[in-house]
Amino acid sequence: MKHEGYDASTLAAGQKTIAEFRNVSKRFGSVLAANDLNLRIAKGEFLSFLGPSGCGKTTALRMLAGFEAPSEGDVLLDGEVVNNLDAHRRPVNMVFQHYALFPHMTVAQNIGYGLKQQRPRLPKNLIAEKVSKALDVVRLGGFETRRIWEMSGGQQQRVALARAIINEPKLLLLDEPLAALDRKLRKEMQIELQNLQRQLGITFVLVTHDQEEALSMSDRICVMKDGRIVQVGSPQELYDRPRNRYVAGFVGTSNFFDGKVTKVTGTRASVRLENGDEVEGSPVSQVSVGQSVSISVRPEQIKLHRSGDGATARVLNRIFLGEHTEYLVKHDTLGEFLVLSPRQSELNDGPFNTGDVLFASWEASAALVLDSK
Q: Pick the binder of other proteins from 11, 32, 87, 179 (CB under 8 A).
A: 87
- Of 265, 243, 254, which is closest to residue 366 (Cα–Cα)? 254
Task: For 161, list phi and psi in degrees, rounded to 5.
Answer: -65, -45
Q: Pick the binder of other proteins from 8, 41, 63, 65 (CB under 8 A).
A: 65
Part of the chain binding other proteins (CB under 8 A), chosen from 28-36, 76-84, 93-101, 120-128: 93-101
By beta-carbon proximity to other proteins, the closer residue of 204 and 352 is 204
Q: Pick the binder of other proteins from 92, 223, 287, 295 (CB under 8 A).
A: 92
Could you tell me the smallest distance in angstroms from the CB atom of residue 87 to other proteins? 4
Q: How many residues bind other proteins (CB under 8 A)?
A: 25
Using CB under 8 A as the binding rule, whether residue 140 contacts other proteins is answered as no
Part of the chain binding other proteins (CB under 8 A), chosen from 95-103, 265-273, 322-330, 354-362: 95-103
Which of positions 150-189 make contact with other proteins (CB under 8 A)?
A: 163, 167
Could you tell me the smallest distance in angstroms from the CB atom of residue 160 to other proteins? 9
Q: Pick the binder of other proteins from 10, 79, 118, 343 (CB under 8 A).
A: 118
Within 13 Å, how many C-alpha atoms sit on residue 63's CB side?
A: 30
Part of the chain binding other proteins (CB under 8 A), chosen from 110-118, 189-197, 284-292, 301-309: 110-118
By beta-carbon proximity to other proteins, the closer residue of 102 and 320 is 102
Find the helix packing angle between 153-165 and 124-137, rounded to 10°: 130
Which of positions 28-47 make contact with other proteins (CB under 8 A)?
A: none
Q: Pick the binder of other proteins from 14, 29, 103, 120 (CB under 8 A).
A: 103
By beta-carbon proximity to other proteins, the closer residue of 87 and 340 is 87
Sign of CA dihedral 68, 74, 79, 84: positive
Is the Cβ–Cβ distance between 108 and 116 less than 8 Å?
no
Part of the chain binding other proteins (CB under 8 A), chosen from 60-68, 217-225, 294-302, 312-320: 60-68
Q: In what order do the strands lie in the sheet with 72-77?
A: 7-8, 31-42, 17-28, 72-77, 80-81
Part of the chain binding other proteins (CB under 8 A), chosen from 86-94, 221-229, 239-247, 340-348: 86-94
Task: For 361, list phi and psi in degrees, rounded to 5.
Answer: -145, 160
Burial of 173 (0-12, 13-18, 19+ CB in 10 A): buried
Using CB under 8 A as the binding rule, whether residue 208 contacts other proteins is answered as no
Could you tell me the smallest distance in angstroms from the CB atom of residue 96 to other proteins? 5
Find all residues with CB under 8 Å of 197, minimum gap 6, and list them: 46, 172, 204
- Calpha distance 206→214 (Å, rounded): 8
Using CB under 8 A as the binding rule, whether residue 149 contacts other proteins is answered as yes
Residues interacting with other proteins, by CB under 8 A? 65-67, 86-89, 92-94, 96-98, 100-104, 113-114, 117-118, 149, 163, 167
